[in-house]
Amino acid sequence: MRPILAVTVLLVVAGCEPAVYVRDGVTDGDSFHLAPRALTDDDPVLQSWVTYSLVRSACQLRIGGDDPARATSYGCEFSARLQLLDTWEEKRRETPRPEDAYLDTLLMVRDAGFLDEYTVYYFGDPSWQVPAEVDLDGFDAWRREHLGHHRPQTRLVGWWSYDEPPAP
């Protein structure tokens, strides 16, 4: 799927306005903006993280509050990572041999049945309501054997602000 079409579909599904922007890092705010590069760069890794960024930011906007940029939930993080992997798998089918060590490791975690646990272990917040089925002890044993000195990643392709996005 072309990047512009993928982003448009995600915005419609997420119920967001197209006032979405991209910049490294997260700041406070109530609007998420996506960078123009996300609309023009076909890089499979970038497009996978665009999906993650849009799914997570749309969920944070649904949670709302005074500062949606700081809203967090197990469901938001888990579904964003699940969509990240779905997009990565799609891009791997479309593009000859794209590589990304982190995304490939995350696929291995999901295929082993530990994506829920991974999400809680590496990104969990005390405010989260976590499903009772999450087996952190089982994941910890698996993690020690398979992940070694793993470093989790979050690559937000965008930023939050109270300001309007910059003009192109």
Per-residue model confidence as pLDDT tens digits over 37-92: 888 899 999 999 999 988 998 888 888 887 787 888 999 999 999 999 999 999 99
Contacts of 82 (CB under 8 A, 6+ apart): 110, 115
Cα–Cα dist 20/37, whole Å: 12
Collapsed DSSP state (helix, strand, coil) of residue 160: strand
Smallest CA-to-CA distance from 68 within 29, 41, 35, 36 is with: 29
Per-residue model confidence as pLDDT tens digits over 100-140: 999 999 999 999 999 999 999 999 999 999 999 999 999 99
Please spell the DSSP secondary structure of 14-42, one letter per residue: HT--S-----SS--S-SEEE--THHHH--
Place 143 in a pLDDT band, splitting at 50, 70 and 90.
very high
Contact present, 33 and 162 (Cβ < 8 Å): no
Residues in the chain: 168
Cα–Cα dist 13/5, whole Å: 12
Domains of the chain, by residue range, sit at: 3-161
Within its chain, how far is the Cα of 150 from the centroid?
18
